[in-house]
């Protein structure tokens, strides 16, 4: 640098060397780039005449004439005011004195060089300054007049500067009253203001339209990039956007504000007593359609699902579940959709990546406290949403069935249960009347009629369901000095679920700190602890809200006074009475069951804790190049405890079951055994399992980011990533457990079949093993080694080229893939047309074009080319340990190959003049080759269908987003955000031998896919109406109508229709929405803001929910299932077929052909298109006095799941509701800073 | 010097790649492993649910050991597929391929074990490896033969032309096999069993594990089904040399619904049929489930204990009195359709007796028959039976076979092979809801239709009708 410098200037070495030596002690590098040195010919006297010229101009003139060189910093020269001067044949010094008069600069002459520097102020000057200086205070606001935090305010020509706080306020002391200040904020035009002795300012900054794009920073988890330079498809969700909802679950808050994400609401459970309620909403989420198919809905021990969206939290791939993140701690979320964005995550990126960045402190920001609190109430679920046949009709159907079937029930027996499976109470009454003659016709009818008025849904609603209430509190403190910053946060959520004895709470505490101990080194640490407790009814005590062999549609749970009622469970009515009459002496526990009391006799508590530690060290090696070392350790601990108290029905039954009675016999010899021996101790049962997980990631990464000549910018990263995830489950169980004394009794003989209370159980056995409480260990270890690199080169802020590559080696792949597998890569380019000199569109000042291509992968750890065996302790039949294989653990498949998804993405970002409208449009096309999916197989291989390379997919679609400012007039403003996604996934090639017949395709059984069709699609059997004579449903066989009756002929016809080619079916189209998105309108009036979000899903079909389609085999089963209201519309007499498609009544509980044909026929497929009003938000920023300790108080209200606005089907069915709709919820919240 | 510049990075990369390969080469879980040791093979073969249950039941459903009354036939638990099969409809077909797939799943697992054993040669003691290999071969042949009884034509003169069933000798799912011929199928079964007989240990700790006696007993059963009587004779003799225990029926409880204990001393190899089917359910006497063919009930002589041990009269209403149900299940499952179809000493005696008679040795045939019957009759009442001729001996042996092996999974095969001889051929008939259905000897319907699901997903040809 030194050499070049001198050569260029051609100066005598001695002089310049001296100067440079001085400089070296100051800021060698910075100065070198901005210093300008002039040298030229030789002259003595100066002649000048200039008006209002810059010093720079004058220096050049003086140099020309005198040969003096000038050394100055450009920045300093800018402080100087312009000069008017007229001199003739003046001495250099005189000229200079004249020039520097009144300037904040001074000079010195060293040999022939004039060194310009800032004036050292004299004591007097300083005193003078003091009196001339003022203390100023100001507020920086944006175009909406909302305060801007973090704007920087500088006093020009001095080192004085300040940053605005959360209220947009800055304070500067001792500012020269004639100084100028510049106020800047990224994305806004910098404003320069003369102070002119004023002390109070309100400064409004105007957005700089073509900088808007630069504002957002996208994060891939490995690096942060300005969006302008990112070629890939990224979508950034800011913390402000996340405020639209108060859902404590982060994933759910993304609905309605993100593009191309489809939340399968129809699968979202709503009743907390439903075991599915525990499932993460991540399980059903797709980004840009389904890419990989994995039917498994169970997470592995680390909570990861294959074939799912990958979640990255603070740069680490799923260190812990995203459900544990407190949404108030989230700074931003970036969704990576295409190859350039996601392929850096390699083998797990095919389904998209969600990158979560949590909030951190900031250097040089004063401490502030933020508080947010809200309270939500969710209505009870509407069990009556599905219109059903009347209870009375159900009872009549049961009566009719009993008469028609003509099968008398055996006498109730307390010793032999074979054939004594419980039947419905109506059947029992009918049997007592018609066969046992213990009831007269009048008595029987009276008893039956008494049931007609009952409805278990009413009782569930009244005694079991409740409004769900949730409270959320979050508090954080953050701030920082120049070398240290921190953030401490705490969040607490408390939720009462919508069923009794069910609820949860969550505490999340986080602390993060960054330190710059020495120059070029930054150390960061982050520690997050969360603890979540869920409390539920114990599984066996639980009332699921459904009807089953214990709960019939006409079961009554409580009497009119609300006292819990007894119902029969597990055994036939009459069993308990007979039992108590036979053994009155109290040798046995009671067999009576009151469900509303029983739910209190135990619990299922899950306590999950997670501690995440993250350390990173970042060292700047030279300018532009830095090295980073990150270590993340996440320790999880989930305790799952279930207690059944002795008083629970489950426990009483179990103890009784293993108590001998006079009917008991020795299972070996068949001889009677001595009665009244309790073989299972009194007390409860306590099951406990502890899952401990430890996930570790170590990453070394080099970052390079350099700008040359203001034109060439290269940013690149390269690194290696080593992870190990290990988890172990320890399970244990105890009999005879007493929760007060903690005593238990496990000294039991589990290996001998012992006599039971019955001479024969339901299966005819007279002995049983004591159920082994699940004890033992399961573990799971995954190690992955990856290397990756990513580089992007930008020329002149116009053209960007990017490339990435990654290779994963994992213990989950099997050796072949590790050795032979190729790396995943991507390339991309973008063209920022808006920055081109030739481009002068007034309409679209912002315009950029992007395109990318690359490969993403998906790992399916369960698909292995050779089987794993699972060890099992003992088989009860032969008492030998054994091992087994299962689909889930691999199958011998020599042709297994990894699947790959190639994605091509092209997009355009645009902004209209004045930023009134901005948005982006993207088209993508994805090709998945060697798709791993469940496919049909030659049955002689030993499997009918397994997961293997079944075929190729092609997906394509459009993402479009548009943000507009529709109206702005004074304090009133109307904004719209419109999101639109189009997505279609088709099967282009199928290797599997499969799905060639109608039956497989129509029911989507055994992994049926077809070339040329949508991946998720709906077919229906051609419907030929009802048989005019019998009311049987009819289909077409070889073009002729054929009745699917409940006979061997009907069976033959049904089988023939099932096995007909798929062309015999009616094809509807996609089963998942093809067009979907949302429209949010926000109206702001001063401090008030109201917004409403409408979701739409279009272009798809659905089959009517099973609960609404009449099934006689379910109606007439021993455990009657109440049928949909269309029962009233069934075919009853010839002629009815003209106005109904509902088949006539047949009595069969086993043959489902007729019901299945009807269910899968084309008449039950409807258009799924619908629009729903998802939520309305209201917010009000309370105006407070400026010196109040509370800042920015805001109250808000939110109403969600409001209802469906329009649906395409005319049957009144919400296509996303399978049992009952998500109930409405209302929340109220408050947030403020201190 | 210059060379080093290139070599070092390469070396480092190699080192890293090698060590990261090592880093990821770990067991996924403590409870799971690839099949790597002889112990692993043994554990797979000890999978009771896989190798000792769920053998095809449709043959037994098609026999004349039992019948259903109309009420039962029309009741819900009897599926329409079952009804078609029961009445031998010419289009009787299972839609689901469960029984087929289950059998090939057993074969798949035996192939897995055989492939794993191949790699263990020299690494573990040959004695252990041989026994394991023998077990896998036995189980493969056992599954294949049981399936062939349903879907391949009986072994006969056209065996080299008649389509067999696919013979899979590799576990790889990409190894697709056609039907081949009946000869190819049976040749493989005989080969596997002969090899197994050489490799297996003479005894096993429990009858769920195959042993040498089981291999010979099975070989005898297979030869008998092929009409190879000398082969059956030799194999049966070898089996009986190793195991010849018979239960004295006098020691059993005549009143019990469940007189036999599981793994009783007659059992050579224990297995049961596919139990997810209601047709063969015997019930408890209060339901009219599978009723025993009255011809069988009336064939027992006064002091023959089998009538009271193997059957019970149904007593409770609404079951028609005078009907009988089966209580002689060696599985020791009361009332269930989980019928024992494994190998037992009584069958081997009957097979050898028949083979003696078939090969002209009436005395030896009667001697075996007497040995068996002595244990079946009330103490002291049995009088030694004699035969006037070879043919008389054969008739007597076949008569006792009918009485002994009821609901044991052997009747269907016996019908298929005996139909070939005019002397023993018979037309089966059933009356259902007033209609009579018949199955004449050697009818095409003695070979069942391959389940639809199997045909849909393969290129296999359906059986003739």
What are the φ/ψ torsions at residue B370 (nearest 5 degrees)? Answer: -65, -40
The answer to whether B48 contacts A880, with C-beta atoms less than 8 Å apart, is yes
Contacts of B433 (CB under 8 A, 6+ apart): B70, B73, B74
Longest dimension (CA), chain B: 105
Contacts of B3 (CB under 8 A, 6+ apart): none
Q: Considering only residues 195 to 214 of chain B, which have any Cβ-Cβ distance to chain A shorter than 8 Å?
A: 206, 208
pLDDT grade for A1227, boundaries at 50, 70 and 90: very high
Among chain A residues, CA nearest to B254: A670
Tell me the chain B residues in contact with residue A866 when contact means C-beta distances shorter than 8 Å.
Answer: 34
- Paired tokens of A328: 């108030």
Q: Which residue has the tokens 């930008």?
A: A794
The answer to whether B208 contacts A880, with C-beta atoms less than 8 Å apart, is yes
Any idea which of A581-585, B115-119, B415-419 has the lowest mean pLDDT? Answer: A581-585
Q: How far is B356 from chain A (nearest CA, A)?
A: 36
Look up the pTM and report it.
Answer: 0.74
Contact B371/B349 with Cβ under 8 angstroms? yes
pLDDT in tens, A267-313: 444 566 665 566 677 777 788 877 666 544 444 444 445 567 888 99
CA distances in angstroms from A36 to A5, A17, A69, A979, B22, listed in the order given: 10, 15, 10, 52, 59
pLDDT in tens, B414-446: 999 999 999 999 899 999 989 999 999 999 999
Any idea which of A12-21, A389-398, B12-21 has the lowest mean pLDDT? Answer: A12-21
Burial class (CB in 10 A: 0-12, 13-18, 19+), A762: middle
Asked whether the predicted pLDDT for residue A26 surpasses 70, the reply is no
pLDDT in tens, A115-163: 777 776 556 666 665 666 778 888 888 766 677 777 888 887 777 778 7
The pLDDT of residue A609: 93
Average pLDDT of span A603-627: 91
Tell me the chain A residues in contact with residue B88 when contact means C-beta distances shorter than 8 Å.
Answer: none
Integer Cα distance of A332 and A240 in angstroms: 9
Contact A976/A1081 with Cβ under 8 angstroms? yes
Count of other CB atoms within 10 angstroms of residue A806: 26
Q: Where are the beta strands (DSSP E) in A937-1087?
A: 945-969, 972-990, 1017-1021, 1034-1037, 1040-1043, 1065-1070, 1075-1085
The pLDDT of residue A123: 61
- Paired tokens of B357: 């008679």
What is the DSSP-derived secondary structure letter of residue A22?
H
Contact A488/A498 with Cβ under 8 angstroms? no
Any alpha helices (H) in A689-773, and if so which ranges? none
The answer to whether A875 contacts B48, with C-beta atoms less than 8 Å apart, is yes
Tell me the chain B residues in contact with residue A1059 when contact means C-beta distances shorter than 8 Å.
Answer: 95, 452, 456
The answer to whether A941 contacts B104, with C-beta atoms less than 8 Å apart, is yes
Pick among B14, B24, B33 to test the A interface (most A CBs inside 10 A): B24
Q: Which of A317, A337, A234 is nearest to A854 (CA)?
A: A337
The pLDDT of residue B372: 93
Angle at B271 between CA B270 and CA B274, to 5 degrees: 165
CB distance from B21 to chain A under 8 Å? yes
The pLDDT of residue A23: 45
pLDDT in tens, A78-127: 777 778 888 887 888 888 888 887 777 778 787 777 877 777 655 666 66
In order, the DSSP letters of A1172-1229 are: EEEEEEEEEE----TTSS-EEEEEEEEEEEEEEEEES-TT---TT-SSSPPPPEEEEE
Among chain B residues, CA nearest to A669: B261
Burial class (CB in 10 A: 0-12, 13-18, 19+), A551: buried
The answer to whether A764 contacts B336, with C-beta atoms less than 8 Å apart, is yes
In order, the DSSP letters of B319-375 are: SPTT-EEE---TT--TT-S--B-SEEHHHHHHHHHHHHHHTT-HHHHHHHHHHHHHT
Average pLDDT of span A1099-1116: 88
Asked whether the predicted pLDDT for residue A211 surpasses 60, the reply is no
Among chain B residues, CA nearest to A776: B31
Integer Cα distance of A397 and B16 in angstroms: 73
Average pLDDT of chain A?
82
The pLDDT of residue B1: 40
Burial class (CB in 10 A: 0-12, 13-18, 19+), A677: middle
Q: Taking each helix axis as running N to C, give the angle between helix B38-45 and helix B126-151, from 0 to 180 degrees, rounded to the nearest 10.
A: 30
Q: How far is A1061 from chain B (nearest CA, A)?
A: 10
- Paired tokens of A186: 């990224």
pLDDT in tens, A488-542: 999 999 999 888 888 999 999 999 999 988 888 999 999 999 999 999 888 888 7
SS3 letters for A292-306?
A: CCCCCCCCCCCCCCC
Where residue A352 falls (left for φ over 0; alpha for ψ -120 to 50; beta otherwise) is: left
The answer to whether A869 contacts B336, with C-beta atoms less than 8 Å apart, is no
CA distances in angstroms from B246 to B265, B349, B370, B371, listed in the order given: 7, 10, 12, 9
Contacts of A1049 (CB under 8 A, 6+ apart): none
Nearest neighbour of B24 by CB, restricted to A419, A810, A996: A810
Integer Cα distance of A938 and B450 in angstroms: 13
What is the DSSP-derived secondary structure letter of residue A209?
G
pLDDT in tens, A344-367: 887 778 788 899 999 988 887 788
Contacts of A1185 (CB under 8 A, 6+ apart): none
Tell me the chain A residues in contact with residue B168 when contact means C-beta distances shorter than 8 Å.
Answer: 940-942
What is the DSSP-derived secondary structure letter of residue A863?
-
For A163-174, letters b (16+ CB in 10 Å) and e give bbbbbbbbebee
In order, the DSSP letters of B168-236 are: -----TT------BHHHHHHHHHHHHHHHHHHS-S--SSTTS--HHHHHHHHHHHHHHHT-HHHHHHHH
Integer Cα distance of A1213 and A1108 in angstroms: 10
pLDDT grade for A323, boundaries at 50, 70 and 90: confident
The pLDDT of residue A813: 65
The pLDDT of residue B6: 56
pLDDT in tens, A1052-1061: 899 889 888 8
CA distances in angstroms from B151 to A101, A838, A1050, listed in the order given: 114, 79, 25
The answer to whether A880 contacts B172, with C-beta atoms less than 8 Å apart, is no
Tell me the chain B residues in contact with residue A1058 when contact means C-beta distances shorter than 8 Å.
Answer: 95, 452
The pLDDT of residue B24: 73
Asked whether the predicted pLDDT for residue A169 surpasses 90, the reply is no
Pick among B16, B28, B278 to test the A interface (most A CBs inside 10 A): B28
| Bond prior to B136 in cis (omega within 30° of 0) | no
pLDDT grade for A20, boundaries at 50, 70 and 90: very low
Tell me the chain A residues in contact with residue B287 when contact means C-beta distances shorter than 8 Å.
Answer: 419
Contacts of A442 (CB under 8 A, 6+ apart): none
pLDDT in tens, B256-307: 888 898 888 999 999 999 877 888 888 776 677 888 999 999 999 989 999 9
CB distance from B388 to chain A under 8 Å? no
Q: Which of A789, A681, A824 is nearest to A348 (CA)?
A: A824
Cα B398 off chain centre by:
20
CB distance from B251 to chain A under 8 Å? no
Longest dimension (CA), chain A: 139
- Paired tokens of B390: 């070879």
Tell me the chain B residues in contact with residue A882 when contact means C-beta distances shorter than 8 Å.
Answer: 43-44, 46-48
What is the DSSP-derived secondary structure letter of residue A940?
G
Which range, A27-36, A574-583, A703-712, B68-77, is most confident? A574-583
In order, the DSSP letters of A211-255 are: GHHHH-EEE-SS-EEEGGG--S-EEEEETTGGGG---SSHHHHTT
Asked whether the predicted pLDDT for residue A40 surpasses 60, the reply is no
Tell me the chain B residues in contact with residue A1049 when contact means C-beta distances shorter than 8 Å.
Answer: none
Alpha-carbon torsion B226, B230, B233, B234, what sign? negative
The pLDDT of residue B286: 67
Contacts of B435 (CB under 8 A, 6+ apart): none
Q: Which residue has the tokens 């032979």?
A: A820
CB–CB contacts below 8 A, A to B: 226
Asked whether the predicted pLDDT for residue B32 surpasses 80, the reply is no
Contact B98/B108 with Cβ under 8 angstroms? no
Integer Cα distance of A551 and A541 in angstroms: 13
What is the DSSP-derived secondary structure letter of residue B446?
G
Integer Cα distance of A846 and A914 in angstroms: 10
Higher pLDDT, A874 or A1122: A1122
Q: Considering only residues 168 to 197 of chain B, which have any Cβ-Cβ distance to chain A shorter than 8 Å?
A: 168, 170-177
Integer Cα distance of B115 and B131 in angstroms: 15
CA distances in angstroms from A1094 to A261, A916, A981, A1147, B58, listed in the order given: 15, 21, 14, 46, 58
Pick among B94, B457, B458, B465 to test the A interface (most A CBs inside 10 A): B457
The pLDDT of residue A992: 65
Contacts of A1137 (CB under 8 A, 6+ apart): A1025, A1026, A1027, A1028, A1031, A1131
Asked whether the predicted pLDDT for residue A1005 surpasses 80, the reply is no
Average pLDDT of span B319-342: 84
- Paired tokens of A19: 């100067």
Nearest neighbour of B107 by CB, restricted to A407, A782, A942: A942
Contact B164/B113 with Cβ under 8 angstroms? no
Integer Cα distance of A178 and A158 in angstroms: 12
């Amino acid at each position: 640098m030194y050499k070049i410098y001198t050569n260029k200037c051609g100066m005598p070495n001695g002089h310049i060397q001296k100067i440079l030596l001085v400089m070296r002690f100051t800021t060698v590098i910075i100065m070198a780039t901005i210093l300008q040195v002039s040298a030229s010919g030789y002259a003595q006297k100066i002649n000048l005449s200039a008006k209002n010229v810059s010093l720079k101009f004058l220096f050049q003139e003086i140099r020309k004439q005198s040969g003096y060189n000038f050394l100055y910093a450009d920045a300093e020269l800018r402080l100087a005011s312009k000069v008017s001067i007229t001199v003739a044949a003046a001495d250099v010094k005189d000229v200079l004195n004249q020039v520097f008069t009144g300037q904040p600069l001074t000079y010195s002459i060293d040999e022939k060089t004039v060194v310009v520097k800032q004036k050292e102020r004299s004591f007097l000057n300083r005193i003078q300054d003091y009196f001339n200086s003022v203390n100023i205070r100001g507020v920086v606001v944006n175009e909406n007049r909302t305060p801007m935090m973090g704007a920087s305010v500088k006093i020009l020509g001095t080192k004085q500067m300040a940053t605005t706080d959360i209220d947009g306020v800055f304070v500067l002391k001792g500012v020269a009253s004639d100084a100028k200040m510049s106020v800047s904020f990224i994305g806004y035009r910098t404003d320069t203001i003369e102070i002119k002795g004023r002390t109070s300012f309100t400064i409004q900054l105007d957005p700089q339209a073509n900088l808007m794009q630069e504002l957002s920073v996208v994060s891939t988890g490995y690096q942060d990039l300005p969006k302008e330079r990112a070629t890939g498809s990224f979508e950034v969700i800011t913390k402000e956007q996340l405020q639209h909802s108060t859902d404590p679950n982060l994933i759910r808050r993304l609905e309605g504000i993100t593009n191309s994400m489809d939340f399968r609401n129809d699968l979202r459970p709503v009743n907390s007593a439903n075991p599915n309620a525990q499932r993460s909403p991540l399980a059903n989420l797709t980004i840009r359609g389904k890419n990989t198919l994995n039917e498994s809905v169970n997470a592995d021990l680390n909570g990861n699902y294959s074939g799912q969206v990958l979640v990255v939290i603070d740069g680490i791939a799923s260190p812990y579940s995203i459900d544990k993140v407190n949404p108030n701690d989230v700074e931003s979320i970036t969704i990576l959709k295409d190859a350039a964005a996601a392929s850096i995550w390699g083998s797990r990126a095919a389904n998209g990546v969600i990158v979560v960045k949590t909030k951190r402190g900031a250097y040089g920001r004063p401490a502030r406290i933020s508080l947010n609190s809200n309270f939500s109430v969710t209505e009870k679920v509407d069990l009556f949403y599905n219109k059903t046949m009347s209870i009375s009709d159900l009872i009549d159907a049961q009566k009719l069935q009993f008469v028609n079937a003509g099968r008398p029930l055996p006498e109730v027996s307390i010793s032999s249960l074979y054939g004594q499976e419980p039947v419905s109470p109506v059947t029992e009454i009918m049997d007592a009347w018609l066969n046992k003659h213990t009831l007269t016709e009048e008595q029987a009818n009276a008893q039956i009629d008494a049931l007609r008025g009952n409805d278990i849904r009413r009782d569930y609603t009244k005694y079991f369901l409740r409004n769900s209430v949730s409270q959320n509190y979050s508090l954080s403190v953050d701030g920082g000095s120049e070398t240290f910053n921190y953030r401490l946060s705490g969040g607490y959520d408390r939720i009462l679920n919508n069923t009794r004895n069910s609820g949860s709470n969550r505490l999340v505490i986080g602390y993060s700190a960054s330190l710059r101990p020495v120059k070029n080194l930054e150390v960061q640490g982050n520690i997050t602890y969360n603890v979540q407790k869920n409390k539920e009814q114990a599984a066996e005590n639980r009332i699921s809200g459904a009807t089953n062999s214990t709960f019939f549609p006409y079961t009554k749970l409580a009497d009119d006074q609300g006292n819990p009622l007894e119902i029969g469970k597990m055994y036939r009515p009459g069993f308990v009475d007979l039992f108590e009459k036979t053994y009155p002496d109290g040798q046995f526990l009671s067999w009576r069951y009151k469900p509303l009391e029983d739910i209190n006799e135990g619990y299922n508590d899950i306590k999950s804790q997670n501690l995440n530690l993250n350390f990173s060290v970042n060292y700047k090696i030279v300018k532009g190049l830095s090295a980073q070392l990150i270590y993340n350790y996440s320790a999880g601990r989930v305790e799952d405890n279930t207690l059944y108290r002795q008083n629970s029905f489950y426990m009483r039954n179990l103890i009784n079951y293993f108590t001998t009675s006079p009917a008991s016999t020795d299972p070996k010899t068949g001889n009677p055994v001595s009665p009244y021996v309790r073989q299972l101790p009194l007390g409860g049962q306590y099951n406990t399992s502890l899952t401990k997980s430890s996930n570790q990631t170590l990453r070394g990464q080099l970052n390079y980011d350099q700008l040359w000549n203001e034109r060439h910018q290269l940013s690149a990263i390269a690194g290696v990533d080593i992870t190990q995830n290990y988890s172990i489950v320890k399970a244990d169980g105890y009999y005879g457990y007493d929760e007060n004394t903690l005593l238990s009794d496990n000294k039991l003989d589990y290996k001998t079949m012992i006599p039971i209370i019955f001479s024969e159980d339901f299966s005819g056995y007279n002995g049983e093993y004591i159920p082994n409480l699940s004890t033992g260990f399961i573990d799971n270890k995954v190690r992955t080694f990856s290397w990756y690199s990513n580089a992007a080169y930008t020329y002149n802020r116009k053209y960007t080229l990017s490339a990435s590559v990654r290779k994963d080696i994992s213990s989950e792949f099997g050796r072949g893939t590790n050795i032979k597998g190729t790396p995943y890569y991507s390339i991309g380019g973008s063209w920022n047309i808006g920055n081109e000199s030739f481009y002068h569109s007034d309409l679209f000042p912002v315009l950029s074009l992007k395109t990318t291509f690359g490969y993403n992968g998906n790992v399916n750890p369960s698909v292995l080319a050779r089987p794993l065996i699972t060890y099992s302790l003992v088989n009860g039949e032969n008492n030998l340990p054994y091992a087994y294989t299962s689909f889930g653990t691999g199958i011998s498949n020599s042709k297994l190959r990894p699947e790959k998804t190639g994605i091509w993405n092209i997009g355009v970002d645009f902004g209209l003049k004045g930023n009134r409208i901005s948005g982006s449009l993207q088209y993508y096309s994805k090709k998945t080759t060697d798709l791993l999916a469940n496919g049909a197989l030659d049955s002689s291989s030993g499997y009918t269908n397994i997961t293997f390379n079944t075929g190729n997919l092609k997906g394509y679609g459009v993402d479009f987003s548009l943000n507009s400012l529709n109206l702005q007039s004074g304090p009133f403003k109307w904004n719209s955000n419109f999101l639109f996604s189009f997505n279609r996934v088709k099967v282009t090639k199928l290797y599997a031998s499969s799905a060639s017949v109608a039956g497989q395709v129509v029911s989507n059984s055994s992994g049926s896919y077809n070339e040329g069709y949508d991946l998720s699609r709906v077919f229906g059997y051609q419907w030929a109406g009802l048989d005019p004579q019998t009311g049987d449903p009819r289909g077409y066989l070889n073009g002729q109508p054929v009745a699917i009756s409940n006979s061997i002929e009907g069976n033959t016809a049904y089988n023939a229709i099932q096995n007909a080619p798929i062309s015999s079916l009616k094809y509807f189209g996609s089963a998942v929405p093809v067009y979907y998105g949302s429209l949010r309108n926000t109206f702001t009036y001063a401090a008030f803001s109201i917004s409403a979000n409408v979701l739409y899903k279009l272009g798809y079909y659905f089959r009517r929910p099973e609960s609404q389609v009449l099934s006689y085999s379910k109606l007439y089963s021993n455990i009657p299932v109440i049928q949909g209201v269309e029962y009233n519309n069934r075919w009853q007499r010839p002629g009815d077929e003209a106005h109904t498609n509902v088949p006539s009544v047949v009595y069969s509980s086993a043959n489902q052909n007729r019901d299945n044909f009807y269910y899968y026929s084309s008449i039950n497929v409807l258009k799924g298109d619908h629009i729903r009003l998802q939520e309305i938000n209201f917010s009000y920023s309370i105006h407070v006095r400026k010196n109040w300790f509370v800042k920015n108080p805001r109250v808000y209200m939110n109403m969600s799941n409001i209802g469906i606005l329009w649906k395409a089907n005319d049957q009144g069915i919400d296509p996303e509701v399978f049992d009952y709709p998500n109930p409405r919820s209302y929340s109220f919240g408050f947030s403020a800073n201190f | 010097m210059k060379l080093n510049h290139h070599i070092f990075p390469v070396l480092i990369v190699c080192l890293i790649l090698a060590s990261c390969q090592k880093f990821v080469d770990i067991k996924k879980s403590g409870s799971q492993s690839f099949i790597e040791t002889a112990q692993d093979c043994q554990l797979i073969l000890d999978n009771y649910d896989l190798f000792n249950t769920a053998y095809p039941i449709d043959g037994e459903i098609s026999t004349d050991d039992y019948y259903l009354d109309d009420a039962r036939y029309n009741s819900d638990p009897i599926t329409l597929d079952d009804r078609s099969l029961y009445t031998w409809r010419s289009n009787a077909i299972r839609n689901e391929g469960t029984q087929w797939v289950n059998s090939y799943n057993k074969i798949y697992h035996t192939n897995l074990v055989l492939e794993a054993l191949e790699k263990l040669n020299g690494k573990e003691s040959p004695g252990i490896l041989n026994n394991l290999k023998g077990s896998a071969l036995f189980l493969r042949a056992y599954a294949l033969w049981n399936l062939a009884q349903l879907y391949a034509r009986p072994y006969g003169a056209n065996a080299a032309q008649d389509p067999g069933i696919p013979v899979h000798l590799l576990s790889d799912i990409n190894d697709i096999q056609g039907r081949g011929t009946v000869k190819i199928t049976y040749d493989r079964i005989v080969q596997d069993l002969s090899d197994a007989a050489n490799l297996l240990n003479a005894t096993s700790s429990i009858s769920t594990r195959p042993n040498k006696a089981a291999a010979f007993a099975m070989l005898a059963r297979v030869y008998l089904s092929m009409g190879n009587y000398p082969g059956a004779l030799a194999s049966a003799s070898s089996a009986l040399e190793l195991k010849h225990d018979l239960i004295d029926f006098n020691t059993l409880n005549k009143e019990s619904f469940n007189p036999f204990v599981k793994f009783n001393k007659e059992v050579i190899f224990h297995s049961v049929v596919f139990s997810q089917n209601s047709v063969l359910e015997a019930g408890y006497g209060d339901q009219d489930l599978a009723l025993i063919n009255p011809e069988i009930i009336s064939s027992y002589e006064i002091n023959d204990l089998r009538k009271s041990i193997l059957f019970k009269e149904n007593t409770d209403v609404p079951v028609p009195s005078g009907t009988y149900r089966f209580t002689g299940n060696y599985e020791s499952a009361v009332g269930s359709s989980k019928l024992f179809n494994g190998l037992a000493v009584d069958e081997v005696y009957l097979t050898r007796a028949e083979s003696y008679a078939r090969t002209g040795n009436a005395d030896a045939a009667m001697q075996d028959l007497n040995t068996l019957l002595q244990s079946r009759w009330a103490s002291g009442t049995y009088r030694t039976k004699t035969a006037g001729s070879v043919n008389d001996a054969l008739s007597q042996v076949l008569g006792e076979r009918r009485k002994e092996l009821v609901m044991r999974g052997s009747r269907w095969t016996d019908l298929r092979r005996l139909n070939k001889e005019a002397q023993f051929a018979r037309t089966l008939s059933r009356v259902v809801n007033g209609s009579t259905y018949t199955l004449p000897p050697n009818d095409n319907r003695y070979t069942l239709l391959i389940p639809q699901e199997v045909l849909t997903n393969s290129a296999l040809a359906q059986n003739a009708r």
